[in-house]
Chains A and B, each alone.
Chain A
Amino acid sequence: MKFATRFRQGMKAAIPVWIAFVPSSIAWGIAAQSHKLTLEEVLLLSAWVYSGPAQFAVLGPLAEGKSAIQVLVAGTLMNLRFLPMSAALAPFFSGVKRLPLLLSSHVVSASSFIVPYLQFQKERESEPQTTGDQVAKGYNNLAFFLGVGVTSFTVWVVGSTTGFIVALGFPAGFEEPLKFILPGYFAGLLVVEMKGWTMPLICAVSLIAAIPGAATSPGWGWLATSFVVALVGWGLEEWNLHAAKSS
């Protein structure tokens, strides 16, 4: 199949991701403007970091002029989740040269990862196991991934820029709703995704523990409490899983 055809297939599959990206990118652009970031910084964050949660995490510390280490730790901890996503996609790009892989990996994101991953799995199950041209298959998959990733990336960058410009037109007195938009959106995203008991528990405890954490140390306190809460929640679930297996 031609690269362009496969790319277009990816574009079509990405439409739900674009729809999800429009409100979140606009909300982030509005929040960035209310935090007094410049348009250049908004563009740089959206296009170069390209990670909604990490961009949200660093917004406050960046605007308040917190230390570089603190901003980088918050953003880096959030971006760690790209490791398993990227690792899950890697087997489908066998035979692709390293430079295209390096360039295309920039558009891996939580939302745009799941669409090609599910598509590749479906195709692998429906196709007979052949020893055909694995390199061609790798490039075919890359074209589909780029169709999803590049277009979603474009929507994200354009959306956040639009949000920033729209927020410039808000009259004074709208600080409260502007401050609420992004945290409100992320809280909504989390509850829509919630399953089981571990995640709601981790979220609730982290939400509450961050307050005394930040009161103790405004820079590092909430980071430390969130880290500990996640670790304890994960430990409890691991312990439960082991107990269930051994019984």
Chain B
Amino acid sequence: MELTRSEIILVLGITALAFRAVPQLFFVGEKFPETWDRLLRYLSYALLCGIISTTLFMQGASLESDVAPHRAAALIVAVIVARKTKSAVTGMLIGTIVVSVLSWF
């Protein structure tokens, strides 16, 4: 399937709208089963972690071994700070500072 980037975004938007609209238009009064709700939630957590990992550590099929330790350290710091302060923004800012400092060495 040869689509331009804009066409891909348009199709993605249509699927997003379908998932948002279909329950409201056709399933009013139907309760979404709790177990499926849990599965979809876990799926989005797992996908987010998969993306975080591939964005930070992979270049195609290869591990970016020269920068991966710096980024892993910054990620660990960001996660700890976010958890302690209950603020994702604070975690992100501290992690970004750590990765900047480590990248200078």
Interface residues in B1-27 by Cβ distance below 8 A to A read 1-3, 5-13, 15-17, 19-25, 27
Instruction: Please state if A234 and B42 are interface contacts (CB–CB under 8 Å).
Output: yes
Contact between chains at A84 and B43 (CB < 8 Å):
no
Contact for A206 among B2, B46, B62, B96, CB less than 8 A: B46
Please count how many residues in chain A sit with their CB below 8 Å of the partner chain's CB atoms.
Answer: 96
Give the bracket for the number of chain B residues in contact with chain A: 35 or more
Question: Which chain A residues (29-81) contact chain B, with CB distance < 8 Å?
Answer: 37, 40-41, 44-45, 48-51, 53-54, 56-58, 60, 62, 67-69, 71-72, 74-81
Q: Which of A86, A106, A190 contacts B48 (CB 8 A)?
A: A190
Given A198-B42, A203-B45, A180 and B74 contact (CB-CB distance below 8 Å): yes
18 other contacts beyond A68-B11, A86-B22, with CB at 8 A cut-off?
A23-B89, A44-B6, A77-B43, A77-B47, A78-B44, A86-B21, A90-B28, A98-B25, A105-B25, A177-B103, A184-B92, A185-B88, A189-B88, A207-B50, A210-B50, A210-B53, A211-B53, A215-B62
A12 to B43, CA, bound (A): 32
Q: Which of A44, A183, A184, A218 has the most CB of B within 10 A?
A: A184
- Which residues of chain B are near A49, meaning CB under 8 Å? 9, 12-13, 16
Most chain A CB within a 10 A radius of its CB, from B11, B55, B96: B55
List the interface of chain B (C-beta within 8 A of A).
Answer: 1-3, 5-13, 15-17, 19-25, 27-32, 35-58, 60-63, 67, 70-71, 74-75, 78-79, 81-83, 86-92, 95-97, 99-100, 103
A1, CB-defined interface residue at 8 Å = no
* Of listed A56, A82, A202, residue having the most chain B CB within 10 A: A82
